[in-house]
Each structure stands twice: as structure tokens, then as C-alpha cells.
Structure 1
Amino acid sequence: MRPLPRPAETPDAAPQPVPRPAPCSPDTPGPTATEERALDRLTALVRQCHGSQVDVWLDETGTPAAPSAAAECLASARRTQLKPYVAPAVLLYIGSPEDRAPAIDPYRIAGVTAVILVLAVGMSVLVATRLVRPVRAVTAAARRMRAGDGSARAVVRAKGEVGELGAAFNEMSEHLDRMERQRKAMVSDVSHELRTPLSNIRGWLEAAQDGVADLDPALTASLVEEATLLQHIVDDLQQLALADVGKLRLHPEPVDAAALTEQIATVYRAAAEAAELALTVEVSGRPHLEADPVRLRQAVGNLLANAVRYTPAGGRVTLRAYGDGDDVLIEVADTGPGIAPEHLPHVFDRFWRAEKSRSRRTGGSGLGLAIVRQLAEAHGGSAAVRSEPGRGATFTLRLPRAPE
């Protein structure tokens, strides 16, 4: 039997559509248009490789299939068809036995390790020194303070937490030094204030005992005055001590500032007239506050007594009261010589007096203004002063206004 002749093929001819077998079941869908084009292209590649008319179809799993004789051509055609869509293969080069890794030099590794250790130790020592130096400075300053050196300060130039520690220590040291100086000054002032009246009383009593002086009414009145002064100093010290420990008792009640200032002015108006001074009262509105009237009269009375004492004849003392927001302000203004700027920060200090001789003719014990500040703070307020030399002084009590 003579074989059937093959139809002539042109390798470069465009692929012709190949009739596909119908689906095995009507429920099985056939290939889509895109799949048909891809299958036609694959068929053309398989025929070009095999050199004969070979059919390519999709099996039940949707995989291209061809006769077993064209299996290799099908695999090659599929690789050619998928090559534009697949990443190139990774080339793995395996060296030959001659391509050996360089030998490990243990001395070199040891040297590098030693250098790293030296650098690490050096940096650790540097950081530790920077951290320890300010701590040592604070420790040394604390030991000097314990030895009695009130001027001990720690020199700390570091920043961060260590710097804050040094600054806090210096602030504490300065505060303790200031408190110690104030304590010594207070002991000296108290001894001075108590020694003067006690010496007078003792001297006159010894003179009377020895028959040198007679206890006539004038001498008796003088001794009573000295004893009264001594009692005032002791009472003031006790009041300040109670205020320091927070045991100063107050009995607050609604107070009309206008009525209060008028009452206080009435008490001191006679002393002002005796000193040839004009004492006036100025009240704006009807300010009310919640305060202890006895303590408040004491505070304002101390201010008025100072104003009358230091204002020269022909001057004026003004007592004002007015509201300022949630506060009530009570002011005592005079036309006296005023206070020097360097003395203003010390006006409310205990036993402080600008006149250092502490003569009874020029001032009191130096506790009156300290008591004023303590009473104002006990009421939840504050005391302040403003003054210019030669233009008088104005003392201000700022107290909370009474609730409506």
C-alpha cells in the first residue's frame, strides 16, 4: 500500500485554525477565544517542530495534549510559547576544588578583637568619668556642709539628670545657708530686744533696793511700760511661732471692709493728730471679705502705726479699701521718706530695721511687718510694698473676697 502524500507546508506560513473536537458533555464549556488563539499558536509551533500535520487539543484537565509521537515537540513548543512570560533561570555557579576560600588568620582576628576591646574599655572609662565626676563634686560639697561650711557649692557642668541634681543641691545649700544666717540674726535680735527692757527693769529695781532711787509713781510707770514692751515682744514671737507651724487660730466671719477700715482709723486718728498728720479713709464700693476681724485689725493697725511713726509732721496717711476682681485690697499709703530699693526685699523680714541702731525713738522691735505678712498669708492672701525714696510708701494687703 502506498502512503498518502503529505500536504506541502511552509514554515513561515501563518497558523491556520484547527478544528477542535466538540466537548464530551454539553455541560462542559469549550475553550474561550483567548484560549483558542493560544492553542492555535501552540499547534503551529508543534507542527513546525514535528514537520507534519499534528493536532493539539485540551484534555479533561484543560492541559494541551498531542499524540505521543509529538510529545517532545509539544513540550518544546510550550516552553517557546511561555518564554516571554517566565523570568529567566537563575544560574548557580559551583566553584572547582582549586577555588578555595582564603585561610583564616587567627592572629589577625585576635588583633582586631583586642583593638575593639581597647576602644570599648576606653569609651566606658570616659563615660563613667563624666558621670562620676559631678557625683563626687556633690558628695564633697555635702561633706563640707556637714562640717559647717555653709558656702559649700558643687561645681557641676554636666547636663541632663546629673546637671539637675547638681543644681538642686546648690539651691538646697543656698537655702540652708540663708536660713542659718537668718537664725543667727534672729537669735541676736531676740537677745537684743529682750535685754534692753530687762536691763532697764533690773537696773531701776536694784537702784530702788539699794536706796539710790525711790519707787515713785513716775518710776513705777516707766517700769510698767518696759514690762509691757517686753510682754509685747514675747507675744509677737509666740504668734510668729504659731504661724510657722500652722497653728495660728483664725475665726473667720463676714467682714465689711468699709466698716473695718473706719474703726481702725478711729483708733489711730488721735495718734495721727498728735503727730500733726492728716489721716483719711477712702473706700470704693462696699467690699466684703471672709476674715478674722481681730487678726485683720491687728495687721492693718501695725501698718498704720508704722505710717504714723515714720511720716514727718505735716504729712498725710491714707487708708484705702476697694475690690479688685476676686480680691479685696487694703492699702496704707504715707508721704514719709520712703524706702530704698535695696531695702524693699527685707521689709517683711523678722527683726529687720533700716535704722541699725535699733533706737526706741526711731522704731519698734522689727516684728510688726513680719506679723502682717503671716496674718495675710494665714487668710489666704499676701502682703506687698511699693515705695520710692522721698515719695512715701504704700503697703498693700490682698485678701480673698467673700463669696456672694
Structure 2
Amino acid sequence: MARRHSLLARLLAMSVLVAGCSIGATAWLAAQSTNSAINQEIGETLATDAKIYDALLGHAATHPQWSGVQQLVAELAAQTGRRIAVTTTTRAPIADSGGPQDPPLPKTPSAVVDPLAVDPVLKPDSADSGIDARAVGPYRLTDAEREDIRQHAQRQQACLRARGEQATLVELPTGRTTVQVLDQQASARVPPTFPLVVAPTPPPAERIGWCAEPPPTTATETEATRQLLELVNACLSRQGLEPLAVAPESVVFPEGLQSTPETKRCVDAGRREQLAPYVSPAAQLFITRPGSSINSAVDLSTVGVARIAWTALGVLVVTVGVTALAASRLVRPITAITAAARRMGDGDRSVRVDTRARGEIGELAAAFNAMSEQVARSEQQRRTMVSDVAHELRTPLVNVRGWLEAAQDGVATLDQPLVASLLEETLLLQHLVDDLQDLALADAGKLRVYPEPVHVGALLEQVTAAHRGRAEAVGIELTATVDGDPDLTADPTRLRQALGNLVSNALRFTRPGGRVSLWARREGDHVLIDVADTGVGIDAESLPHIFDRFWRAEKSRSRDRGGSGLGLAITHHLVAVHGGRIEVRSTVGVGTTFTLHLPA
């Protein structure tokens, strides 16, 4: 397509002349006045947002629910002059400093307050795990434990000060008090001897050991660490990794559980799972200006506003005039497409757009015509499917009704063979209804799969075992082969259903003495599973239709070979919902091979 016919190119050509004149006139007026104002506004906004975010994050990290946050929101709003609103992830209000005069909240929140997933932009000093340091959960000490640790730390501090050390007490978020020695102030030396020997200053941790052993681990910390190790080791076990060899008594705070790059993911996941009941659920934070939206105007300049306004008005008038002149020619084909769309909405499926326009409008018309044809085909397929469903249901229902009426009139005896025949017809109806339900779920996008690691060899053995009795009854050899041990993550139930449909079809169309084989192997990043038979084959004309609903190779739609005509359609959907694809190769009189390509 020539780009000169592009709608975008024509609009750009019309506006370049006007825009070029306006840019030179307005750029220098706006640049100086906007740069400083924007930079100042952004800096103040980010600092204020970070302050509000950190305060609310601290509340969420130390409270299991958001109840009681309204007072904190009101205090922050009074300090910052902002309207602050906190809602659930479904936008249900939790707290709001605004009033009825304020407009609705914007569509996009300013941030998501989640102590288990800290925003590194608003809190750059957050830990690599993304968990707020104030979220300690079960590590929070009891009052008695806190007092005992504090007294122990005070004795250490007094001892260190007696030795001339500058020692301070620091309380961790868990409530544990620790002693911190200021290294730059330390100056410990041994008594002078002859010759004079000066000892180097030991590090802070070693100098604390001069006075007493570190405070013991409390029962609360030990139990919390034990719970955390159970969660982490369960995750590591699922990934085939060795558990952490850590004693619960050696960890006194949540971040103290050391991890390697291989175990970090499980350690972080275990911490989040342990802390979840102790922190508030994730909430959306909205920060706006009182009485206006977040995008309200900012005074960008104190001079030249009138000149900018008059220049913009002149550019607007010229642009409107030039655009209106050309728009009349551009909108005519769009009007034709709109009229055709209305006719299609009224039920006319044969409507088409006849336009000689090129570029994007021509492509739009072609796309509309293609869509109209597809809608017409879908309507015809729907009518055909209704007719096919009625046909498939009618035969077993007529059989059941006929035999029951005959038994009621005394013409037939309701003996065991007749009951077995009626049961067979009922099972056929049930199978057809189940197939239709699977197709309805697939069409609605609700056909769910539950992936899990699958042993391909065991899966193929299950499928062959389920069909081996039928194969032996008609003298067909049924085998399964697996090359290596390919990794596969899939829904085993749905995958067995798909392979079972293919094996059933293969047995149905393979003559006695033939062979049906399953073969699985790994190729690149896919696992391939073949279902091959030595049956009658499928002609080239029928191959494009084998996944259509109710399609059968027999034009007479006979049930002599069984099947509802839905098995391959369901199989196609089952493979697609796994993210794979299915292909078929067939030679008449030689056999057919279906190949499933599934992501490894």
C-alpha cells in the first residue's frame, strides 16, 4: 500500500504547515516558564507522596486490618494539604479525607499499599525481598520478653560505657533491644608495657562480647522461626532443593534467615505466607488535590500568559479551517461504513461496503467486509449445529421411547437384554450431552485446566490400559513408547481425555490385525505425542474439516462406526487451552497420525 494514501500521512501533511508556524511562536514562551514550575511541582509531589505512602505502609505492616486508619489519613491530609483516599483493590472505600464537594477518584491509583510488596520508587530503601521491615508478624515479642531483653541490653550498655565505649540502645520492629557501638568513637588499648605495644581496636561485635553474651533467643522468636522454616523447606522440597540447615534458636528477626540465590525465592515466599495474617490486605492509595482531580491545572508562568493564549487561539482558528476543508472528504467512506454497520445490527448479514478509498480507510472497509462474511458463516454454522444436535439426539431418544412404549403395551418384554439396550442408548445420550457441555465451556472461554507435573510414560500407559480390552477384542495391536523422560506440565485429566478421543477414533477406523501406537518424545521446547494407526485414512478433501463439530467421513452420517462427531473438536480445544497445537497427516489406505505439540 502506498503510504501517500495513508489517512495518517494526509492528516500530518495538513497539520505540518500550521504546526511549524506555531511551534516557533510558542516554544520559547512556554519553555522557560514551565521547566522550573514542573520540576518544582514534581519534586514536591514525589516527596509528599512518599511521606504519605510510608506512613500508610507502616500502619499496614503493624495492623492485620485497615480499621482505624481514618484518623491517620486525616492527620496526613492536614499535614500535606492533600486529599488522601484508601480503597480496597475493588475500589470499596476504606478511608477518605475528602468530602462531598470533592470529585470522584481517578481511574488509576497513585500507588498500591502492600507491606508484602513495597513500591521501590516511593520507598527506595526497601529490602530486596520487597517486604517492609516493620512487618514482623509472629516475631513480635511479648511484654515480658521485651522487658527481659531490654534489661539485658542495658547491662551490656553500662558495661561498655564503663570501658569508655560509645554504646546506644536500638529497638528493632520486633521489640528486641540491641546494643550498637559507635566504631568511630572506639579507642581501646591494652596497658602500656616495655617495649610499648599498642593493640588494634577490635570490631564492634567483638567489643560487645567483652561484657556479656548476646541476649538469648526468646520462645516467640524460636517458634516464629520454626514456622518460617517449615514454609520455606516445603517450598524447597517442591523444587527438588535441599532444606535449610538452620537452627530455629539462631534467628531473632524475620530478615535473619539467610538465603542463597537458589533459595531466596522460597525464603521470600515463606515470609510472605507467614506474614499475610498479620498485615493489612493490599489497598489502593489515591492522592489528589482537595476539591479537584489529580490532573488539575498548575500555574506554570507568571508572565506571558496572555501572549500564549492569543497565539494558541490563532493557531486553533487556522487549524480548524484547514482541517474542516479536508475532513469532508475523509468522513464520507466512514459514514458509509457506519451505515453498513447499522444495517448489520438490524439483521442484514449480506451487507458489504463498496468504497474506492485507500489507506487506513480502505483497510477498514476490507476488514468490515471480512467481518460481515465471517458473521454470515457463523450464523450458518449455528443453524447447522442446531440441526446436527437435533439429529444426534433424535435417534437414541426415538429408540428409548419406542422400546418403552412397546414394553408398556405388552408388545415387548422388559428383560435383561432390553434393559441393557436401553442403558446403552442412555449412555450414548449422556456422552453426547457431556461433549456438548465441554464445547459450550470452550466457546465461552471457561474450559479450565489445572496444570501439574505429568509423567508422560505413566499417562500413556493409563490411556493404553483403558483401551486395551477393546483393541484386543477386535484384534488390533495397541502400544505406547516414550523416548527418555520428557518434562511436561499439563492437566492430566484433560490430557487423558484428548488422547482417549484420538485412540478411540484410531481403533474405530483400524481393521482387525492393524496397529495403533502412541509415541512421546521431546523436541526443542515442546513435547510431541503421536497417535498413529494403520486404518483407512482420510482423504485430502476431508482433512480441513476433521475438527469441525459433527463432522464424519461417512457422508451418510451413519453410526455404524460409533462416535458423536464431537471428539476431535473437543480434542482441538483441549490442546489449545494447554497452549499447544494439533496437526494431522493421513494417507488413504495407509493410516493416519495425529501429533500433539505441547509446551515442555
Once the two structures are superposed, what CA deviation does each residue of 1:105-149 show, in whole Å capped at 9, x if it has no partner? xxxxxxxxxxxxxxxxxxxxx988975664465356445534544
Task: Please point out which of 353, 371, 381 is paired with 2:570.
Answer: 371
Partner of 2:410: 211
Code of the residue aligned with 1:396 in structure 2: it is T
Partner of 2:390: 191
Code of the residue aligned with 1:335 in structure 2: it is T
Partner of 1:240: 439
Partner of 2:462: 263
Residues 275 and 153 of structure 1: is their aligned pair in 2 closer, same or farther, counting only changes over 3 Å? farther
SS state of the match for residue 381, structure 2?
Answer: helix
Contact kept, 8 Å, 1:239 with 1:248, in 2: the verdict is: yes
Deviation at 1:271, TM superposition (A): 1.4
Deviation at 1:210, TM superposition (A): 1.0
Code of the residue aligned with 2:455 in structure 1: it is D
1-structure distance, mates of 2:461, 2:454? 12
SS state of the match for residue 229, structure 1?
Answer: helix
Task: Please point out which of 375, 381, 393 is paired with 1:182.
Answer: 381
Code of the residue aligned with 2:548 in structure 1: it is D
Code of the residue aligned with 1:344 in structure 2: it is L
Code of the residue aligned with 2:448 in structure 1: it is R
2-structure distance, mates of 1:137, 1:314? 64
User: Where do 5+ consecutive residues of structure 1 fail to align?
Assistant: 1-125
Task: Please point out which of 476, 494, 504 is paired with 1:305.
Answer: 504
Task: Please point out which of 527, 548, 553 is paired with 1:328.
Answer: 527
Partner of 1:295: 494
Deviation at 1:275, TM superposition (A): 2.1
SS state of the match for residue 588, structure 2?
Answer: coil
Partner of 1:389: 588
Once the two structures are superposed, what CA deviation does each residue of 1:288-336 show, in whole Å capped at 9, x if it has no partner? 2111111111110100000000112222211110111111111101122
Code of the residue aligned with 2:384 in structure 1: it is A
User: Where do 5+ consecutive residues of structure 2 fail to align?
Assistant: 1-324
Instruction: State the aligned residue count.
Output: 278
Alignment RMSD (CA, Å): 2.3
Once the two structures are superposed, what CA deviation does each residue of 1:182-213 show, in whole Å capped at 9, x if it has no partner? 11111111111111111111111111111111
Deviation at 1:345, TM superposition (A): 1.7
Deviation at 1:272, TM superposition (A): 1.6
1-structure distance, mates of 2:466, 2:484? 22
Code of the residue aligned with 1:209 in structure 2: it is Q
1-structure distance, mates of 2:329, 2:592? 53
Deviation at 1:158, TM superposition (A): 2.2
Task: Please point out which of 363, 374, 377 is paired with 1:164.
Answer: 363
1-structure distance, mates of 2:442, 2:342? 33
Code of the residue aligned with 2:499 in structure 1: it is V
Task: Please point out which of 279, 293, 297 is paired with 2:478.
Answer: 279
Partner of 2:216: none
1:399 aligns with 2:598: yes
Partner of 2:423: 224
TM-score by length of 1: 0.64
Task: Please point out which of 541, 550, 556 is paired with 1:357.
Answer: 556
Higher relative contact order, structure no. (Cα contacts within 8 Å, ≥ 6 residues apart): 2
Contact kept, 8 Å, 1:355 with 1:362, in 2: the verdict is: no
Greater Rg by CA: 1
2-structure distance, mates of 1:251, 1:146? 39
SS state of the match for residue 235, structure 1?
Answer: helix
Residues 277 and 292 of structure 1: is their aligned pair in 2 closer, same or farther, counting only changes over 3 Å? same
2-structure distance, mates of 1:274, 1:149? 55
1:316 aligns with 2:515: yes
Residues 356 and 152 of structure 1: is their aligned pair in 2 closer, same or farther, counting only changes over 3 Å? farther
SS state of the match for residue 215, structure 1?
Answer: coil
2-structure distance, mates of 1:202, 1:330? 43
SS state of the match for residue 527, structure 2?
Answer: strand
2-structure distance, mates of 1:249, 1:148? 34
Code of the residue aligned with 2:522 in structure 1: it is G
1-structure distance, mates of 2:330, 2:440? 44
1-structure distance, mates of 2:397, 2:583? 34
2-structure distance, mates of 1:335, 1:169? 45
Deviation at 1:166, TM superposition (A): 0.6
1-structure distance, mates of 2:424, 2:471? 21
1-structure distance, mates of 2:447, 2:525? 24
SS state of the match for residue 297, structure 1?
Answer: helix
2-structure distance, mates of 1:385, 1:290? 23
